[in-house]
Chains A and B, each alone.
Chain A
Amino acid sequence: MLKKLLYPSSVAVIGASPKPGSVGYVVLENLLSRFKGAVYPVNPKYDEVELWGRKVKFFKSVLDVQEPVDVAVIATPAPTVPKVLDEAGRKGVAAAIVLSGGFAEAGNAALEEQVVAVARQYGIKVLGPNCIGLFNAFADFDTVFLSSERAGRPPRGPLALISQSGAVTAAIMDWAARRGLGLGIVVSYGNEAGVTVTELVEAVTDDSNVRVVTLYLEGFRYPGEARKLLEVARKVAARKPIIAYKAGRGRTAQRAVKSHVAAMAGSYDMYRGLFSQAGIIEASSVREMFDMAKALAMQPIPRGSRVLVVTDSGGLAIQAVDVLEELGLEIPELPESIARELKRELLPFATVSNPVDLTGSATDEHYKIVLDALLPTAFFDMALVITLVQVPGLTHNLADYITAARRYGKPIAVVNFGGSEFVIKFERALEDNGIPVYPTPERAAKALWALYRYGEVRRKIAIAEAAAA
């Protein structure tokens, strides 16, 4: 349904401008410099302007464009939007992205209703208004009106973000770009007058370029929205994980109520219940959402909740165990027979239990021995590997050994931190080969928990589907 919005072959920029710094200028520059499809600048004030070393032709109206237009990006002042959207409708656009603000969010609900009415009349899918639009690295389609020097654009990759807040969206994009995090599709939906968050979740999970969907949510706007998202998420969560962060967690419950339940129930409790029911994994911060997303994009789903912890630092292992247990994951003891073998091969002062503590005298080989002896067995479902590579016995070969353990088909998360060139190269070697690395045991544990939780979601959906069949 939203294919043309996400992957248009032609775009009109209504309100395009040759004035540097304006919204219409940034959008036009982004599209003309990278987008492979046709771009039609629309602004009655200009005919032909020399821009970026070429002659750019402006159209008086979108109706003057001869060729078909898939998407109209609208950046004109709010009061003019119903009129230009009407022209876009007559032109036959499939979708419109209304970047302009000054609608319901500014108290102009009536103006927003006009936009909705025009959209309905022509069957236009309207994203926004009051949004920063859409970024699709796979289509080089970018309507984000912030310059890329200030808000970086992330590389192509399997993560998608659907976000209610424009400013937060831009900040996340910039942050992801600096870390090389593959956030391939980003949609900010603003006032949600047309395209709903549920439609976006459905469209983005359908996209074969996307492996994990993240959702930044402030609050629903329409009655019935919660139920709709629940129904759609329940269907699509079997195919792709959805992670949500709900901002605004105040527990202000309904006032003037007569029952205990109504007095206790804040809106955040309602969202939490919905997420859990819908199979949406809840993150407690934006950072945690992407920690989880990274693991879900890179790693397989564990069969159960049993974690093997391997470490060269006893202290960090204790922290890992604390968090894993708090999250309801298990850290089972090593089977006696394998432990006896391991004792022969590891250092005499290594601790051969779970966590396996190889100590600061650990070598690459020690990690390899432990992973090969334990991960392929039926006793463990996943591994949390702590590698403080600052110790003398470890080299970059360790990254190869850990990567090689992927063949056991069980999730692995690595804890490593530091700032030296050596450490950074080590981390990059792991992440380039699909092993997620986290700077603290808590973050790695939470990422493993997300994998486990998603496995539970999948099992729950499978049972429900089998029962319905």
Chain B
Amino acid sequence: MTHQIVARAVADGRSKLREDEALALLRAYGIPVPDFTIAESEEGAVKAADQIGYPVAVKVISPQIVHKTDVGGVVLNVADAQGVREAFRRLLEGVKTKAPYADVEGVLVQKMVPRGVELIIGAVYDEIFGHLIAFGLGGIYTELLRDFTMRVAPIDEHDAWEMVREVRAYRLLTGFRGMPPRDIDAIVDVLIKFSRLVTENPEIREADLNPVIALEEGRGAYVVDARFILRPS
């Protein structure tokens, strides 16, 4: 049942998936993620970005850094090769001063996703309830506004629809104040696939897909950043 990406991390004694592993795991379950590549050098990063196509995001990869933005570990909207070089240097400098304890394994070069409504999809393991799936408003205000709802995993399509309709952020998805309606079917699809992912990988303790960007109707929803915390074996 356990996917090999999770199995390998557990076998290595790690309690967290690397960024690229997290994204690959999602992709393996059919959950849309923007194109990405790992690079260990400046030249490698440029080559990766050329291949993916601009604009890209460049993010630092380090096992010690949990919240990348807090240490200046993310550069968004990089438009060309020169930009990638600058981003690469800036990230390494930033981490050196703000998180000197961190080992940098490289950078993640990721295709930028257009702007959309930022949502969060997550999972948590509880002794009594087992796995629960959460859905709510994503982005930086998630914990402040606490607009989210939970269900016991696994969830079915009906549960997923109820979750989406239950949160206040639902109004943002249906076209609030002249904003376009978002691809709600795609969000429901991510929720169901994510529930399957979590159920089939009982080693997952906590997971955040944040943000999940909901694009306009018919354009889909993409997981831009994912974090998986595993049960220590």
Question: A interface vs B, CB < 8 Å?
Answer: 219-227, 230, 254, 257-265, 267, 269-270, 272-274, 276-277, 460, 463-464
Note all chain B residues with C-beta closer than 8 A to A463: 158
Determine how close the nearest CB of chain B comes to the CB of A325; give it in whole angstroms.
15
User: Pick the contact of B120 from A222, A260, A273, A276 — CB < 8 Å?
Assistant: A260
Determine how close the nearest CB of chain A comes to the CB of B61; give it in whole angstroms.
16
Contact (A226, B129) CB under 8 Å given A261-B120, A277-B152? yes
User: A260, B128: Cβ atoms under 8 Å?
Assistant: no
Interface of chain A, helix or strand or loop or mixed? helix
User: Pick the contact of B146 from A219, A264, A272 — CB < 8 Å?
Assistant: A264
User: A264, B148: Cβ atoms under 8 Å?
Assistant: yes
Determine how close the nearest CB of chain A comes to the CB of B83; give it in whole angstroms.
29
Note all chain B residues with C-beta closer than 8 A to A227: 129-130, 152
State the total of A-B contacts with C-beta under 8 angstroms: 98
User: B151, A273: Cβ atoms under 8 Å?
Assistant: yes
Answer whether residue B159 sits at the interface, using C-beta atoms and an 8 A cutoff. yes
Give me the 9 closest cross-chain CB pairs, A-B, nearest first. Answer: A261-B122, A273-B150, A259-B208, A259-B206, A226-B129, A262-B206, A261-B134, A262-B124, A273-B151
Answer whether residue B12 sits at the interface, using C-beta atoms and an 8 A cutoff. no
Note all chain A residues with C-beta closer than 8 A to B159: 277
Q: Which of B175-233 contact A (CB under 8 A)?
A: 205-208, 210, 227, 229
> What is the CA–CA distance of A221 and B129 in the complex, to the nearest angstrom?
10
User: Pick the contact of A276 from B123, B126, B162, B207 — CB < 8 Å?
Assistant: B162
User: Pick the contact of A270 from B16, B126, B206, B207 — CB < 8 Å?
Assistant: B126
Question: B interface vs A, CB < 8 Å?
Answer: 16, 66, 120, 122-124, 126-130, 132, 134, 142-143, 146, 148-152, 155-156, 158-159, 162, 166, 205-208, 210, 227, 229
Note all chain B residues with C-beta closer than 8 A to A223: 127-128, 130
Contact (A230, B152) CB under 8 Å given A258-B66, A261-B122, A270-B132? yes
Determine how close the nearest CB of chain B comes to the CB of A259; give it in whole angstroms.
4
> What is the CA–CA distance of A367 and B208 in the complex, to the nearest angstrom?
56
Given A226-B129, A257-B206, 8 other A-B residues pairs in contact with their CB atoms under 8 A = A219-B128, A224-B130, A226-B128, A227-B152, A260-B120, A261-B120, A261-B123, A276-B166
Which residue of the partner chain B has the closest CB to A269?
B150
Note all chain B residues with C-beta closer than 8 A to A274: 129, 151-152
Determine how close the nearest CB of chain A comes to the CB of B135; give it in whole angstroms.
9
Note all chain B residues with C-beta closer than 8 A to A264: 134, 142-143, 146, 148
Note all chain A residues with C-beta closer than 8 A to B208: 259-261
